[in-house]
Structures are given as C-alpha cells and as structure tokens.
Amino acid sequence: MIKISILIACMSLPIWGIAQDKSQDQQEIEGVVLGYIENFFLNDYAKMEVHLHERLSKRGVNQDGRLSEDYSKSDLQKLMSTKQAMPLRLQSNTIDSVFIDRQFASVVLSTGYPKLRWKEYIHLAKLEGKWIIMDVFWNFD
C-alpha cells in the first residue's frame, strides 16, 4: 500500500508542476493585460507601451459596424495625448477568459467607459521569457 501511495505521488508531481507553470503564466498574462488597459485609460503611455510588441496591431468594429483604422503604438500614443484620463477607481476592467498554448495566449477583456462598454480580444506571445501583446481587436457590446 505504501508503494502504491509513493508511486501515485511521484506520478502526480509532473502534472502539478505543469499546472503551477500555467498558473504562473496566467498571472503574468493577466498582469500584462491589466497593465496595458489601466494605463491606456490613465493616459500613461510609458507604463502601457512596455506591454506592447513593436509590431502591435490594434483595430476593431466601431459602433457604426465598420472596421476601424489600424492603430500602431505611435497612433495610440497620439490618441492618449488627446483624450481625457480615467482614474483607476472609475475603471471596470474584467478578464473574462485566458487561453494558453505554450508560447501563445488569447485573452478576452471586458472594458470601456461607464456608459460605453466593449470587449477586447487580445493575443500575446511569450518572447524571450516575457509575455507581450501582439494584437488587439475590439467589438462594442
């Protein structure tokens, strides 16, 4: 009986290790996504841009049903310099789901302003040991 218990415990260790790694990745991914969106609303480009890949692609379907223009990192910086900041206490950012497959992750984020809500579908890659946002697509609720 003791041998069986030891065997089961040893077989469980690799599974437990994988679950721990995935949990750590999930925490890191959620931190990156929240760092991006919170600082976007705060208009803190310097803190936001560290979460974005140089070749970021951001676009979405506008309220009129048409595809938006593409936004690069520099386009976001320009936008953030003209819009009103929203304090963290007024923000409502919720991560609805996280899917991780090795070096790739996909996140659904519910966000927006108090009277205007949308979802952002965010793709990340783990490059050089760090999760970074590659692209963002939004759709209004």
Query: 101 to each of 21, 24, 40, 105, 128, how far by Cα in Å?
Result: 12, 13, 27, 6, 16
- pLDDT at residue 15, as a whole number: 46
pLDDT at residue number 128: 96
Place 4 in a pLDDT band, splitting at 50, 70 and 90.
low
For position 109, what pLDDT does the model report? 98
Supply the pLDDT for residue 141. 86
Contact 124, 105 (CB under 8 A): yes
HEC string of the chain equals CHHHHHHHHHHHHHHHHHHHHHHHHHHHHHHHHHHHHHHHHHCCHHHHHCCEEEEEEEEEECCCCCECCCECHHHHHHHHCCCCCCCHHHCCCEEEEEEEECCEEEEEEEEEECCEEEEEEEEEEEECCEEEEEEEEEEEC
pTM of the model as a whole: 0.84
Tell me the mean pLDDT in the region 79-99: 96
User: What fold, for 2-140?
Assistant: Nuclear Transport Factor 2; Chain: A, (3.10.450)
Beta-bridge partner residues of 113: 116
Encoded tokens for 128: 């050089």
What per-residue confidence (pLDDT) applies to 20? 52
- Token digits of residue 101: 């497959």
Flag whether pLDDT at 16 surpasses 50: no
pLDDT 10s digits, 27-82: 999 999 999 999 999 999 999 999 999 999 999 999 999 999 999 999 999 999 99
Q: Residues 95, 107: contact at Cβ < 8 Å?
A: yes
Q: Residue 22: pLDDT band by 50, 70, 90 thresholds?
A: low
